[in-house]
Amino acid sequence: MTESGIPENLEPRFAQPKGWRWHHFERVKGRKIRFGSVFPEDSIPDAVVVCLQGVREFSEKYFEIAHWCLENNLAFWTMDWVGQGKSSRYLKNPQKRYSNNFENDIDDLHFFIKEYIIHSCVHPDRGRIPMAMLAHSMGANIGMRFLEKHNETFECAAFTAPLVGIKAFKSIPNHVMLGVGAFCNIVVGKSYVPGGKDWEKRTDRVRLTSDEPRNNIDERWCKADADLRCGDLTFRWVYEAHKSCMALQKTAEYIPTPCLLGIAGEDDLVDNTKTEKIAGKMSDVNIIEYPGSYHEILMEKDSIRGNFLMHFHDIIKERIIDRPETLKPF
pLDDT of residue 330 exceeding 70, the answer is: no
Which percentage of the chain shows pLDDT scores above 90?
87
Question: What value does the mean pLDDT take over residues 231-243?
Answer: 97
pLDDT of 92 above 90: yes
Q: Is the pLDDT of residue 4 over 90?
A: no
| Nearest CA-CA partner of 98 in 204, 196, 203, 167 | 196
Cα(321)–Cα(319) distance, rounded to whole angstroms?
7
Check residue 137 and report its DSSP letter: T
Region of poorest pLDDT, from 18-22, 74-78, 319-323: 319-323
d(C-alpha 302, C-alpha 293), whole Å: 11
Q: What is the pLDDT of residue 328?
A: 63
**β-strand pairing of 122-123 with 156-160:** unpaired
Radius of gyration of the chain (CA): 19
Looking at residue 313, its pLDDT comes to 98
Q: Kindly report the CA angle at 152 between 67 and 20, in degrees rounded to 5? A: 20
Edge-to-edge strand ranges of the sheet holding 131-136:
21-28, 31-38, 74-79, 47-52, 131-136, 156-160, 259-264, 285-290
* Average pLDDT of the residues in 199-221: 88
What secondary structure letter does DSSP report for 205?
P
pLDDT at 207: 84
Does residue 108 register a pLDDT over 70? yes
Report the CATH architecture of 12-326: 3-Layer(aba) Sandwich (3.40)
Domain spans in the chain, listed from the N-terminal domain onward: 12-326
Q: 48-84 pLDDT, tens per residue?
A: 999 999 999 999 999 999 999 999 999 999 999 999 9
Label residue 327 by pLDDT band (50, 70, 90).
low
326 band by pLDDT with thresholds 50, 70 and 90: low
Is the per-residue pLDDT at 325 higher than 90?
A: no
The pTM assigned to this predicted structure is 0.95
Residue 233 per-residue DSSP state: B
pLDDT score of 323 more than 90 = no
Q: Which of 293-297, 298-302, 325-329 has the lowest mean pLDDT?
A: 325-329
Cα 234 to Cα 185: distance, rounded to the nearest angstrom = 9
Least confident span in 57-71, 127-141, 203-217: 203-217
Angle at 300 between CA 297 and CA 306, to 5 degrees: 80
Task: With cut-offs at 50, 70 and 90, classify the pLDDT of residue 141.
Answer: very high
Closest by CA to 244, choosing from 114, 81, 75, is 81
Q: Which of 298, 302, 306, 305 is nearest to 134 (CA)?
A: 298
Q: What is the pLDDT of residues 148-193, one digit of tens each?
A: 999 989 999 999 999 999 999 999 999 999 999 999 999 999 999 9
Q: What residues are paired with 289 via a beta bridge?
A: 263
Q: Is 289 left (phi over 0), alpha (psi -120 to 50) or beta?
A: beta
Mean pLDDT in the chain? 94
> What does the pLDDT read at residue 2?
40
State the number of CA atoms in the 13 A half-sphere of 26 facing the CB: 6
Residue 203 clears pLDDT 90, i.e. is over it: no
Residue 1's pLDDT band (cuts 50, 70, 90): very low
